[in-house]
Amino acid sequence: MRKYKFEICTNSVESCLAAQQGGADRVELCAGIPEGGTTPSHGEIVVARELLHIKLHVIIRPRGGDFLYSPLEIKTMLRDIEMVKKAGADGVVLGCLTPDGEVDMPLMKELVAAADGLSVTFHRAFDVCRNPQKALEEIIESGCNRILTSGQQATAEAGIPLLKELQRQAAGRIILLAGCGVNEKNIARIASETGIEEFHFSARETVISDMQYRNPAVSMGGTVQIDEYTKQITTAERVEKTIKAVISD
């Protein structure tokens, strides 16, 4: 059994299959990647589960933006957890904060209880909480299995100092999953300097659309301008290359 585990942040079934081919241990399936990830469709989850033999985790996030949720959004999250369990996923990825930037403990305990039988990852809501050391203890208390974090910096590489401190504080009580900006060029450094053994990365590349006819006057996002004739897809080659960069270091 290898020392490290690798989770690929995937935006489609196609990316899930590429992650599996490249040697990943599991995928985190998301929609809305530009927003930091939102809950994917039921169909996407079901098809991914049918085709994957590695672990499938699904993000439970009803919208982009902050991590302060209304009663209606919480109801949606609970229904999504129920749906994900029925679809046969192995885990869920979620996180909730209070208006003051603390972990919302009552809500987290409710969501973790709803996810009973699934692995639970507290996502990068952790990176915008007020006190990461306190939050780590509370997340452990809530019953989560791991924390996805960049060390409260723009990238995990920039967050190495805090990641190292948190790994020491965790002392094996919870798994730290280093993510955001992890790639074949920096994964070995992050591993060696922090002691973290689980990594989250996307290994995506830009693919040009096959559309021949294009109307540049119309944007599906209205005032939000994105390139609608390209898509970002995980590639097996980049997954494999990133994994090799740390296991052969």
Q: Is residue 212 part of a domain?
A: no
Tally of domains within the chain? 1
For residues 74 and 150, what is the distance between their CA atoms, to the nearest angstrom? 25
- Specify the pLDDT at position 2: 66
Q: What domain range includes position 121?
A: 5-207+226-248
Residue 37 has pLDDT above 80, yes or no: yes
Q: Is residue 148 part of a domain?
A: yes
Q: Checking DSSP bridges between strand 230-234 and strand 204-208, what pairing results, if any?
A: antiparallel
Q: What is the CA radius of gyration of the chain?
A: 18
What is the average per-residue pLDDT within 126-145?
Answer: 98
Structure-model confidence comparison of residues 227 and 197, the more confident one: 197
- Specify the pLDDT at position 227: 81
Q: Is residue 216 part of a domain?
A: no
State which H helix or E strand residue 149 sits in.
strand 146-149
Sign, Cα dihedral of 192, 22, 13, 117? negative
Q: Is residue 214 part of a domain?
A: no
Model pLDDT for residues 45-100, shown as the tens digit of each residue: 999 999 999 999 999 999 999 999 999 999 999 999 999 999 999 999 999 999 99
- Specify the pLDDT at position 120: 98
Percent of the chain with pLDDT over 90: 89
Q: Is residue 219 part of a domain?
A: no
For residues 150 and 147, what is the distance between their CA atoms, to the nearest angstrom? 10
- Specify the pLDDT at position 223: 66
For residues 205 and 234, what is the distance between their CA atoms, to the nearest angstrom? 6
Q: Is residue 43 part of a domain?
A: yes
CATH code where residue 18 lies? 3.20.20.380
Model pLDDT for residues 203-232, shown as the tens digit of each residue: 999 999 999 999 888 888 766 677 888 899
* Angstrom distances, CA of residue 17 to CA of 6, 116, 117, 248: 14, 27, 24, 24
